Amino acid sequence: MGRVLCVGHICVDDVYNVRKYPVEDSTVGSRTSPNRCTNQSWERGGNASNSATVLAELGNEVEYFGTLADDNLKQFFKDDMDSYGVKYTNCPVLKNSKVGTSVVICSEESGTRTIIHCKGTLTELTHGQFKERINLDNYSWIHFEGRNENQITHILQDIQEYNIKFASESDSLLGQPNYKQRKLPISIEVEKRIESISVLLPFADVAFIGKDYAMMKGARDCLHAAQIFCQQLEKGTVVICPWGEHGAAFGIAGSHQLTKVDPHPPVKIVSSLGAGDTFNAAVIHALTRNMEIEESVRFGCKVAGAKIGICGFRNLLQAIEN
């Protein structure tokens, strides 16, 4: 398999694991009772950045692409990506910038994660930077985090034109999902409740529709979400709708068949931080290895479930085996 490219943003996550979510105007320390902080860590975060990490852990050749700030955290990010084998040398490094920071509170009682994000001053990737630094011939799949739509739309148009040049007229591909017909398949995640990122979805061969975004569009559950977006997107687009502890659903636009996949929870929930990014990466991993769509979504649920049972991504393979 060729290299997978994950395009999006990077940030630092200041993560606090607590027994339960704090009461407003309270203090939670390492020795307080009944609630206390059991662990604190600094983690490299960001949806595309996390998905790149998981893809690397699963054995893929993977590259992260997004802007990096020339600040005191740049080396921390580079060292961490090096430790996982995630490539990043094409990333533009911008001077006089400060990377975004998230404070994350992970509740051991409920398994929830609450995120407070401050954007920082680091500007988003531009179309020109992508064209200058990325040679599409070097990749077998590109995954986009749904953000920065004004610039990403132009990048997607370039990839669409690239795929048209290599379009196959083979009868053997007729009726196959769109991603199987592309030289360079595109997957796109839309997660946040931001209406303007909808312009990205028509470019997706595989669309990951997050729960918050789907509910903004009127979805009641994952099956309903899959139905809504299968009716809206281009025929042959694979629509995948993860729904946390309720599993996931998927369908292919133009087909009337929808499938629900059960969740794969761990014995003990430790942290749900990064579970959605893990799901997306695991599905991409499976699809690039020619697994069927249903099998790929089941694998995504399995790996995401394993991730919820640990902190971070470092012991993910061991968690999957267990």
Mean pLDDT of 289-309: 97
Query: Cα(first)–Cα(last) distance of the chain, in Å?
Result: 27
pLDDT of the residue at 6: 98
Cβ(146)–Cβ(129) below 8 Å: no
DSSP state of 241: E
* CA distance linking residue 262 with residue 253, whole number of Å: 21
If pLDDT is split at 50, 70 and 90, which confidence band does 143 have?
very high
267: Cβ–Cβ under 8 A, 6 or more apart, which residues?
309
Separation of alpha carbons 297 and 248, rounded Å: 7
What's the rounded Cα separation, in Å, for the pair 47 and 52? 9
Q: Do 18 and 105 contact (CB within 8 A), yes or no? A: yes
> What percent of the chain clears pLDDT 70, i.e. is strictly above it?
98
Residue 168 has pLDDT above 80, yes or no: no
Classify residue 155 as left (phi > 0), alpha (psi -120 to 50) or beta: alpha
Q: Residue 118 pLDDT more than 60?
A: yes
Region 255-271 average pLDDT: 93
pLDDT in tens, 57-105: 999 999 999 999 999 999 999 999 999 999 999 999 999 999 999 999 9
233 pLDDT tier (thresholds 50, 70, 90): very high
pLDDT in tens, 11-32: 999 999 999 999 999 999 888 8
Q: How confident is the model at residue 265 (pLDDT cuts 50, 70, 90)?
A: very high
> Cβ of 109: how many Cβ atoms within 10 Å?
11
Segment 308-317, tens digit of pLDDT? 999 899 989 9
User: pTM above the 0.85 mark?
Assistant: yes
DSSP state of 273: T
pLDDT band at 170 (very low <50, low <70, confident <90, very high): low
- Kindly provide the residue ranges of all beta strands, DSSP E only, lying in the chain, ordered along the sequence: 3-7, 11-18, 37-45, 62-65, 68-69, 93-94, 100-107, 113-118, 139-145, 186-190, 206-209, 238-242, 248-252, 258-261
